[in-house]
Each structure stands twice: as C-alpha cells, then as structure tokens.
Structure 1
Amino acid sequence: MKAIQFKEYGAPSVLEKVDVDRPELEQGEVLLKVHAIGVNYADTARREGAYVVPTPLPFIPGAEVAGVVEEVGEGVSRVGKGDRVVTLIGSGGYAEYVKANESTLIPIPNEVTDETAVALPLQGLTAYHILTTMGRLEKGETVLVHAAAGGVGSLAVQLAKHFGAGKVIATASTDEKLNLARDLGADYAINYTNPMWREEVMEATDGRGVDVALEMAGGDIFHETVKCMRGFGRVVVYGVASGEPPQMYPSGLMNRNLSVIGFFLPQIMKKPVLFEKSLNHLLKMVKTGELKLTVGGVFDLEEAAHVHEVMQARKTKGKLVLKP
C-alpha cells in the first residue's frame, strides 16, 4: 500500500511516498480503508522530532482517520465490513490502510461526510476537554481562545458558547480569520499581531481579565496570556506552535490563585468513557447543525509535504485533510 513516511527529522521535504505492507490484525482489531486523514500540528512536531513523546524512525505520521471497515480480526463484534467509522490511532494514518482497535471506532452518521468527520476527533476532543475536563468552564465565565480560526480554535469558540460562556474573546492574525471567529460566535475578535493585544483583551473584560484561556503558541504569547487572567483563572496549555517553550516561575501564580494546566489528548484515550461519550456528542452536534466545521482544504496524500508547509506558515484556516 502507499504511505507517507519520514526516515529522518527535518523540514517538510523529509516526507516521502513509500510502499509498505498492509498492517496485520491482532485480537480485537479491524483494518480500515482510509478515506480521509486529518492533518495536525502534532504531525509537524513528530516530523521535526519535537513531539511530547519520542518519535521512532522511520515513522508514518497521522493519528486521525475516517474510512470503511475492510476486514475484521478475531473477537470483533461491534462493527462489520463496510461500516463507516472515524477514529484516533497512535500513528500510521498517512496511508491507504490502517488498523485500529474496535473499542476506538465511532460510527459516522449518514448525514456527515468523511472529510467532516475526520475534522472532529483530535481537534474536537481537544477543544471539548480543554474547556470542560481541564478548564472546568462554568456558565457565565469569560474564555480567551488563541488561533481562533484554526482547527481547535474554531471549534473551541463554538463549544465555549455551547457550554455557557458569558464572553468569548478570539485572537487571530488576519482580518479574514477574525471575521471567521465572529461568524462562529466570538463576542470580541482581536489581532494578536498587534503589540497591544493584551490591553484589548483587558478592555473587553472591563479590566477584570479572563477565566479560561486556551494557549498553544508558547513564547511571549503564553506570558501575556497569564497577565490576562483574573483571580482563580485557568490557562490550559496544549501546544508550543512557536517552537519557544516558555519559562515560568510558579510563585508568580500565587497572588491571583492562577492555574496553568497541561493537556495531552492521548491521556483521554486511556479513558474510553471520556473518548466515546464526548466524540459521539460532537458528531451529534455536527449532524444537527449546532457545530460548524471549517475544512480549509482537501489534498491528495502525495501533497503531505506541501500541506505541512502551508500549515506551519499560518496560511490556512480550519481543518486540512489528506485523501489517499
């Protein structure tokens, strides 16, 4: 089968098309014919050797796939050949076929396309659990969403409103992206390339600050975000897109009782009840139209290197999808 692999860490150019064997099934696993693959910043971090956990070489990236069950292994009872499903896997998604444990498979409603479904697992679950499980969002609180036109951000803006946020403040880098955030329900949209963006956030909150912040940039953005927090505020960190891990002095959090919380989605996968319940909830919201997904582009699998380039250059909005 065809797949995209890298044998060394580096720029997008290290991604190359290869022929590899189809995965062999073990107890409780199924083989999926892949119809759509979600592209995420985690894939670029894997490629650069800068992921949260070590990346072995050679490596086929891709943790998010939608497709059709091609074959079932021993002990599989929940799904059958021909079923449309979406799932998260550890790696190997940039390929024509993948294997997955049946316990991680979520049926795709007939009304939802593969490209739409694959935009949900990683980024949808991230936004969902940052706001609820980690951020402990309460009704009426104010939420700050950075990169609000991106995959996680565009979903977080909507979910924050769904979960009862009083105000949602979105940041992005262009007028087009800010308009998208407003269309998705943001009460305020602020350009974070403006050196005075923090002052604008404080003005939007009448000087009180925000209760929950979604932070994935690192560097100065992290430090300025901490300054935006009101007493008992929670900053949830789920990435370092700038490549600049911030240095923090925990004692600086004490005077406002602030919390800085890390989020790593694979930990959610260790609790199937959290994974299954929340992903089904998200798919239901898409089916009913309560949640709008922004698919920023669909590309051939062979274009993976190009997709990584434009994603890291901040030239995209919404979810990017590869198709074998």
Structure 2
Amino acid sequence: MRAIVISRPGGPDALQVREVPEPLPIAGHHVVHVSRAGVNYADVHLRENGYLAPVEYPVTPGNEVMGTLADGRRVVGLSRGGGYAEQALVHRALTWNVPDEVSDEQAVALTLQGNSAWHLLHTVLRIDKCDSILIPAAAGGVGTLAVQLAKMAGAHVIALASGPEKADLVRGLGADTVLDSSSTADLAARIIDANEGPVSAALEMTGGEVFDATLAALAPRGRMAVYGCVSGDRREVPAEQLMQSSKTVSGFWLPNLYGVRYALRTSMNNLFEATARGDLQPVIGPCYSLSNAAQAHFDLESRKTVGKVTIKTTR
C-alpha cells in the first residue's frame, strides 16, 4: 500500500510517498481502510522531532483516520501514528462508528481536534455560563470547534485570529469579540479591554509572547490550559507568579485520555449528537492528495488554512 514515510527529521519535503507492507491484524485492533487522514500540528512536531513522545524514524505520521472496516462500517479512529496511509491499525477502544447524519469530512474533524476542544473546555477548564474565555487560533481546527462549544456552554468568547477573512469566519461561529493576532503588541491590554476586564479562562497553543500576554490577561483564580507551542518558544512560569493571583496553568495532551474509561466515548457521543442536530458545525478546510502531503504541512505552518485540513489517501 502507499503511505507517507519520514526517514529523518526535516521540513515538509521530508514527507515522501512510499510503498510499504499493509498492516497485519492484531488482537484488539481494527484495520481501517483510510479515506481521509487528519492533519494536525502534532504531525509537524513529529516531522521535526519535536513531539512530546520519542520518535523513531522511519515513521508514518497521522493520528486520526476516517474510513471503513472490512464489513463496510464507516468509522473514525485515533491512532498512534500511521494515519497517512491507505490502511491503518487502530485500537478498537479508539474507533467509533460514524452516524449516518455525520459526513466523512465532519467526522474526521471531530476525532482528534473535536475531542481536544471538548476536553480542554469541559475536563480541564470546566467552563460554564459564568466564564469568559480566550481562544487562540480560532479559525483553525481546534479553534473553530472550541468557539462553538464554548458558546454552547454559555461562555463569553474572546477569540484570536489573523486577518479579516478569518475574523469574519470566527464571528460567524459565535465569538463575541475577535482580536487580530497578527501582532502581539499590547495583546494583554487588548484582551482585557475587549472583555471589559481579565478573562476567567484561556486556551493557549502558541507560546512566546502570546503565552505571556494570555497569562497576564487572566483574572485572579483564572484557569489556563496549554495544549501546544507552535512558535517553539516555550515559557517557564515561576511559582510565585501563579501564587500571587491564584492562577492555574494546566497542560493537556489528548493521548493521556486514551486509557481513561468512558472519557472519549462520552466526548465523541456529545460531538456526534451536536453535529447531527446542526448545533455544532465543523469547518472543513482544504483536502490534499497523499502525494501532496508536503504542501498540506507547508500551508498549515504558514497559517494559510482554516478549519480542518485533511489528506485524501485513496487513489
């Protein structure tokens, strides 16, 4: 079968199409015939050898897949790599049947990024109608879903997006205020001004000056959930800085929930049901061919994309 193989760390051109052996069935797993593979920043970090888990090359990236089983069932699944391929091995506990009311494109958008957005908001931050929340990269895969889920929970949403086109998209999803993130100048002050005071909750995935501004815009007893660092500029927070205002900074990595009974089943059911009702509308971004995976990574890193970016693995 065809798959993307990374032989060594590098830029987008490290993604090469190769003929590799089909995955062998093993106990407790499904072999999924992949039609769509989700593209995420985790794949970029894997390619660069900057991932949270150790990387052994050669490796095939891709942690979420949409496809069918041998019996014809439509499924989505979370894998530990191997998704950029015509077939992928996925654990049964991390595979879900897709309702007829949910399209293939919607389903793959919900799997990794939807689960991440849901658990960031409900498991880590535990937001409710009393909260005001800052959502970065609000036109991206996680961001577009987080904006909608936060509004469904009744929260007041301050969103960050770069450029007027992305800002209009995010406003259409329900954000109360959208701030231009193309410049970090006075960002903390702009967040506080837009919210008429510090925010009680925040997501963060940029690092560097955006991390600093987000923490500064957080109210006393505020909660901040960190789920990425796309700039590569990781910050350390002195304990006394947190203690002075009783602020909480939590890290989040979705694979830590893979072994938690019912955690992902609950979130997937909620996401599927909300999408089927039309209350949650995943934003579908560009789809690239397997042979054009390098362009998918380049466009994602260049922030040229909106919504869920996917790779079509079928010939």
Return the offset for 1:276: 0.8
Partner in structure 2 of residue 191 of structure 1: 180
How do 1:88-107 and structure 2 match up within 5 A? 88-107=78-97
* 1:43 maps to 2:43: yes
% identical aligned pairs: 40
Return the offset for 1:272: 3.5
Partner letter of residue 149 of structure 1? A
* Paired residue total: 312
* 1:287 maps to 2:279: no
How do 1:239-254 and structure 2 match up within 5 A? 239-254=228-243
Partner in structure 2 of residue 74 of structure 1: none
How do 1:111-126 and structure 2 match up within 5 A? 111-126=101-116
265-274 or 209-218: bigger deviation:
265-274
Q: Distance in 2 between matches of 1:293 and 1:205?
A: 26
Deviations along 1:113-147, whole A, 9 cap, x unmatched? 21221011111111111111111213221000011
Q: Distance in 2 between matches of 1:184 and 1:146?
A: 14
Where do 5+ consecutive residues of structure 2 fail to align? none
Partner letter of residue 263 of structure 1? F
Q: Distance in 2 between matches of 1:40 and 1:138?
A: 28
Partner letter of residue 39 of structure 1? V
Q: Distance in 2 between matches of 1:272 and 1:82?
A: 27
Q: Distance in 2 between matches of 1:216 and 1:68?
A: 32
Return the offset for 1:278: 0.5
Local SS of the residue matching 1:315: coil
Does the 8 Å contact 1:144/1:213 carry over to 2?
A: yes
Q: Distance in 2 between matches of 1:42 and 1:28?
A: 25
How do 1:281-320 and structure 2 match up within 5 A? 281-320=270-309
Partner in structure 2 of residue 73 of structure 1: none
Local SS of the residue matching 1:314: coil
Partner letter of residue 260 of structure 1? V
Q: CA RMSD in A?
A: 1.0
Does the 8 Å contact 1:295/1:320 carry over to 2?
A: yes
Where do 5+ consecutive residues of structure 1 fail to align? 71-80
Does the 8 Å contact 1:67/1:86 carry over to 2?
A: yes
Return the offset for 1:302: 1.1
Partner in structure 2 of residue 256 of structure 1: 245
Deviations along 1:28-49, whole A, 9 cap, x unmatched? 2221110111000000000000
Does the 8 Å contact 2:158/2:195 carry over to 1?
A: no
Partner in structure 2 of residue 205 of structure 1: 195
Partner in structure 2 of residue 238 of structure 1: 227
Extract structure 1 runs of 4+ deviating beyond 2 A: none
How do 1:1-324 and structure 2 match up within 5 A? 1-70=1-70, 81-165=71-155, 167-194=156-183, 195-206=185-196, 208-324=197-313
Return the offset for 1:274: 0.5
Return the offset for 1:161: 0.9
Deviations along 1:184-211, whole A, 9 cap, x unmatched? 00000000223133222111222x3001
Q: Distance in 2 between matches of 1:311 and 1:205?
A: 29
Q: Distance in 2 between matches of 1:174 and 1:160?
A: 22
Partner letter of residue 53 of structure 2? V
Does the 8 Å contact 1:296/1:316 carry over to 2?
A: yes
Return the offset for 1:111: 2.1
Local SS of the residue matching 2:69: strand
Q: Distance in 1 between matches of 2:195 and 2:109?
A: 32
Return the offset for 1:266: 0.1
Does the 8 Å contact 1:106/1:280 carry over to 2?
A: no
Partner letter of residue 3 of structure 1? A
User: TM-score if structure 2 supplies the norm length?
Assistant: 0.97
Q: Distance in 2 between matches of 1:267 and 1:57?
A: 23
114-123 or 196-205: bigger deviation:
196-205
Return the offset for 1:86: 0.5
Does the 8 Å contact 1:88/1:121 carry over to 2?
A: yes
Q: Distance in 2 between matches of 1:60 and 1:11?
A: 15
Return the offset for 1:238: 0.2
Q: Distance in 2 between matches of 1:113 and 1:35?
A: 12
Local SS of the residue matching 2:233: coil
Q: Distance in 2 between matches of 1:103 and 1:247?
A: 35
Q: Distance in 2 between matches of 1:275 and 1:160?
A: 18
Return the offset for 1:3: 0.2
Deviations along 1:214-237, whole A, 9 cap, x unmatched? 000001100111000011101100
Q: Distance in 1 between matches of 2:139 and 2:261?
A: 29
Return the offset for 1:314: 0.8
Q: Distance in 1 between matches of 2:168 and 2:135?
A: 14
